Chain A
């Protein structure tokens, strides 16, 4: 059966989150297997770190505001870490 739209959106948001956290918030590549489990501690912590840095409500969840911000145009320099 074709994936229903929300499941496909969910998937692409997870890809976006993983790429965003790796690129701008020093998420190590070894954490990839955790990104799919959004409620896993390290990922929640990273999402909170991003939300705090960008001035969003700190929920630790991939809420719609956070997804919207991750789609915005921005500078390519990371926000934290090397």
Chain B
């Protein structure tokens, strides 16, 4: 089995689902009962429970759709892709979409809805695909499997229990007092007005806000950012990093801590790192980097250290002569020690403690002063 990168899972055990619309291929109550059966299969081996709602936003929204249906992953007509689903999380995450160009059936004469629903709901709960051809989470549709044979393999059970643990003991065995589960740190600290960051970087259109061992992942698709341990995406990266920036032209993010820096591409760590920061051209007196920004237009990277900054020519791969310079001189209004910085839509965003300064590099002036966590829609 595998789980989605970052191991997203529901932080609560009781989930809601909603059947948003129906296929013409099956009676409504057949769809209702198959969805219920599919959920029950997972319920029986985890602490998870499900209840159905009939309006509003449920954790798991179940829809039938054809072709382009609003999530940039269009279906492809009859055959090939039958359905897809999203990992646990807010908004569209957790939802399951079924291609209504398929011929959905209660038995194996067409595409067996129960079998596909059970598979997709496995994704909604956090399982990715399995290489085990007997597993429910194996990606290819098995024409031989009829509804009577829709059940979890041991691989599926091991997988889902790696995320949620086994079901609670049966009522007649003594129940051990369980420690109240500590609230997930990300949810509480996110809106703390005093929140500051270690480093911030873009990554393929998303924004990553690093703090201690964790990072918030902000995509433009969801209002509420996801929260992950750094190690769940990049096991060999350190915690408490100093700076990070993305060189979009190389699809790479560079992560700095102390006198070393690493390179990642998506969720892959690049070989040959960490390297010493002095290979970039810093003098020996520089021991760490406070913040860094990559300017897409100029293909230059700005490194900020204490009250000074350097500029690195990404094309030439060398530090430019004539540096360091005073930050306050060339970035008027940015005169406190920096924690983090990143560029978005032509603006530079500098972070110092719980304050954030939006800076227009063309006008050379601070255009807004915001709270550091203003990107989290608290």
Write the nearest CB–CB distance from B305 to chain A, whole angstroms: 33
Report B-chain residues with C-beta under 8 Å of the C-beta of A24: 139
Q: Does B228 belong to the interface (CB within 8 Å)?
A: no
Could you tell me the distance between the alpha carbons of A75 and B138 in the complex, rounded to whole angstroms?
9
Task: Let me know if A73 and B85 touch, CB within 8 A.
Answer: no
Among B5, B119, B120, B139, the one with the most A-chain Cβ atoms within 10 Å of its Cβ is B139
Size category of the B interface is 20 to 34
Task: Count A-side interface residues using an 8 Å CB cutoff.
Answer: 17
Q: Is the CB of B123 within 8 A of A77?
A: yes
The smallest beta-carbon distance between B222 and chain A, in angstroms, is: 15
B374 at the binding interface (Cβ < 8 Å): no
* Interface check A52, CB cutoff 8 A: yes
B111-126 residues at the A interface, CB under 8 angstroms: 111, 116, 119-120, 123
Chain B residues with CB under 8 Å of A53's CB are 129, 131
Q: Is the CB of A77 within 8 A of B139?
A: yes
Report which of A72, A78, A81 forms a contact with B141, defined as CB distance below 8 A.
Answer: A72
Q: How far is the CA of A72 from the CA of B5 in the complex (A)?
A: 25
A73: chain B residues at CB < 8 Å are 79-82, 102, 111, 140-141, 143
| A79: contacting residue among B83, B102, B129, CB under 8 A | B129
Query: Contacts of B128 on A, CB cut-off 8 Å?
Result: 77, 79
Q: How far is the CA of A54 from the CA of B111 in the complex (A)?
A: 20
The residue in A24, A55, A69 that gathers the most chain B C-beta atoms within 10 A of its C-beta is: A55
**Residue interface bits A43-78, CB-to-B below 8 A is 1, else 0:** 000000000111100000000000001011111111
Q: State whether the Cβ of A5 lies closer than 8 Å to any Cβ in chain B.
A: no
Out of B83, B102, B131, name the residue touching A75 (CB < 8 Å): B83
Q: With A and B bound together, what is the CA distance between A69 and B119 in angstroms?
A: 19
Instruction: List, in ascending order, chain B residues with CB within 8 A of A78's CB.
Output: 129
Which residues of the partner chain B approach A55 to less than 8 Å between Cβ atoms?
131, 133
**Which of A54, A69, A77, A81 makes the CB contact (< 8 A) with B84?**
A77
Interface centre among A74, A75, A78, A81 (most CB of B within 10 A): A75
B contact residues around A76 at 8 Å (CB): 73, 75, 81-84
Given the complex of chains A and B, what is the CA–CA distance between A72 and B133 in angstroms?
A: 14
Cβ contact within 8 Å between B82 and A52: no
Once bound together, how far apart are the Cα atoms of A52 and B85, in whole Å?
23
Complex Cα spacing A81 to B84, Å: 15
Cβ–Cβ contact B131 & A52, under 8 A = yes
Q: How far is the CB of A27 from chain B (nearest CB, A)?
A: 13
Residues of B within 8 A of A54 (CB): 131, 139-140
Task: Name the distance in Å between B74's Cβ and chain A's nearest Cβ.
Answer: 10
> Interface code B72-94, partner A: CB below 8 Å = 1, 0 otherwise?
01010001111111000000000
CB B109 to nearest CB in A, in angstroms, measures: 14
Query: Given contacts A75-B139, A77-B129, could you give 17 more A-B pairs where the C-beta distance is less than 8 Å?
Result: A52-B131, A54-B139, A54-B140, A55-B133, A73-B79, A73-B141, A74-B80, A74-B81, A74-B82, A74-B141, A75-B81, A75-B84, A75-B129, A76-B75, A76-B81, A77-B128, A81-B267
Q: Which residues of A contact B (CB under 8 A)?
A: 24, 52-55, 69, 71-79, 81-82
User: What are 19 A-B contacts defined by CB distance under 8 Å?
Assistant: A54-B131, A54-B140, A73-B79, A73-B140, A74-B139, A74-B140, A75-B119, A75-B120, A75-B129, A75-B141, A76-B75, A76-B82, A77-B128, A77-B129, A77-B139, A78-B129, A79-B129, A81-B5, A82-B266
